[in-house]
Amino acid sequence: MAEFVVPTNKDVPFSITSEGQQYPVILRVVAGSHLYGLDFKKGEYPFDPEYESDWDFRGVYLAPPTAKLGLEKYPERIQPTAAPVQVTTREAQQIKDGVTPPPEDGPKAARPPPEEDDIVFYELKKFATMALENNPGVLDILFASDESIVNITPQGRRLLESRGLFLSTRIKDAFLGYAKMQMDRLQGHKKWVKEFPKLAEVAAILERAYQGGDIDFQWIAEHFSGALARHITHQDESNKTILGDAKHPYPPAAPAPEFQTPPPDAIIGCPEASPLLMAVQCVPLKYGFSGTVAEWMRYATPAQVRDPANPFHSERTVTREDVAFLATQAAFCPLSRGEYLVYEGGKGMLTRSGAFFAHPAIVAPGALGPLRWVLTVDEIRHTNDGRHLKHAWDWFINRSARRSTLERRFGYDTKYASHVARLLFACRDIVRTGTYCPRLSEEVRRRVLAIRLGEVTFDQFAEAMEGLRADITAAAKTSPLPREPDYAAVNRLLLELSV
């Protein structure tokens, strides 16, 4: 495992900028996996030799008293997009010794390592409020060990000396609440993985078909999801192109696909197309809406038609011949919501976009052929399934590629689960001992890593977390922590550090 690498001189002045205003940082620490001892160097992670743990940093800064007492606005939280600024060690020493004034153009930009991609700072009052609420990430800063400290001022040291003021047995409910939210989210991810296990595979097929000139933005949006179309094509509704356009990034390999009539359980696709579009035909219907009659027949309730000429209104199952008739020769008049009179002499059931092409409820005599059937379709379920599918694609698009890989490999997000485990282990130890050490003990680290590396099934993980919850509840009854934090002492501390 990688060791902490921090400057030997932690007293170097450090500040961050927001909207042109610089704020002095009183404490900056290494956070995340490097803090907990769960980091991987390149080549250590067994499932990706190129993977390397990111460097996360957290800190506390001071807003000027004039801003707090007057009308001037100041940020409570800063997440810089550019590197924070820091003078060099030599410049800092010269400033302290009075040898030379600060540079006229301000402090020079720090050069953080390229993997430093998660940096968050809190204003002191906001930080203290979150610490009193037992926010786990803020407590990581407050209880940072010396080796994890990157920059610290006398005010920062005073803050760390007073960290015991913030803890109380209220941490039990706070941490268990955080853990429950994370478990609910983990269960939600697991539900999508179980219901739609091939989202990544389908997206890859569509991306290859798009790059091969077989499909375009509109095709993907109509049959899958507008969000997925934006994700694959990097276009949106305002600048989308279609196959054959001069501005379209890929030349068409085949005519724009026109959906024909596959069997009722068939897949999305058309009968004749290039090899890439043939691959799109292998996409199961549940991952997109093909806009075909066969698809709509899945929503017939039941998947049968009623013959109006039959006095007993007997029902029979839809056949492939019926599907062909509905697709090309039928005309429809709405009888009630989801119920249609089916006539001969029409042009088919669906519009190009896959919606019902319905005639008015009252038609002129002789305008249509003989009445043939009464067809009942559950359009509400069709709409709800469409929304559900859209949510599935939205979830997939917003997922990290690495997280998706873990979910496909192990059936759940093992990295996210390891965060839940670490949180509950930390709560157990705080409640038992009355203090907090973010760096994991070897035994806890081993157990958390077993979850992270997929050596534990989801059911085993869930059972272990239930056991930890029970341990925390029992330990809270005899905890050395006070029932409430020392609000008065924390208030005096903030007044002392703010002036």
pLDDT reported for residue 219: 84
Low-confidence ranges of the chain (pLDDT < 50): 1-4, 82-83, 85-117, 256-278
Q: Enter the tokens of residue 119.
A: 């940096």
CA 350 – CA 296 distance, rounded (Å): 10
CA 87 – CA 92 distance, rounded (Å): 6
pLDDT reported for residue 290: 65
Give yes or no for a contact between 80 and 53, defined as CB atoms under 8 angstroms apart: no
DSSP character at residue 265 = T
pLDDT reported for residue 25: 94
Q: Locate tokens 């089916």: which residue?
A: 342
- Element holding 33 (H helix, E strand): helix 33-36
Question: What is the SS3 assignment for 368?
Answer: coil
CA 492 – CA 488 distance, rounded (Å): 6
State in Å, rounded, how far the first CA of the chain is from the last one. 41
Residue 423 Cα distances to 36, 248, 433, 439, angstroms:
11, 49, 15, 12
Q: Enter the tokens of residue 31.
A: 């956070």
CA 498 – CA 486 distance, rounded (Å): 18
Question: What is the SS3 assignment for 487?
Answer: helix
Q: Enter the tokens of residue 442.
A: 């070897």
**Cα 475 versus chain centre, distance:** 34
CA 183 – CA 180 distance, rounded (Å): 5
**Strand order across the beta sheet in which 315-317 lies:** 315-317, 300-306, 371-377, 339-343, 331-336
Instruction: Tell me the domain boundaries of the chain.
Output: 14-166, 194-293+384-397, 300-377, 400-476
Residue type, position 230, single letter: R
pLDDT digit string (tens) for 231-267? 999 998 888 988 888 888 888 765 544 434 344 333 4
Closest CA to 260 of 354, 372, 386: 354
Alpha helices by DSSP H, listed for 118-198, are 124-132, 136-142, 154-161, 171-195
DSSP character at residue 233 = H
Give yes or no for a contact between 60 and 138, defined as CB atoms under 8 angstroms apart: no
Residue 389 Cα distances to 119, 265, 338, 385, 406, angstroms:
35, 18, 21, 6, 22
The residues facing 22 across adjacent strands are 17
Residue 336's φ and ψ, nearest 5 degrees, are -155, 180
The residues facing 86 across adjacent strands are 14
Its pTM stands at 0.73
* Residues 6 or more apart in contact with residue 228 via CB below 8 angstroms: 203, 206, 220, 221, 393, 396, 397
CA 1 – CA 452 distance, rounded (Å): 15
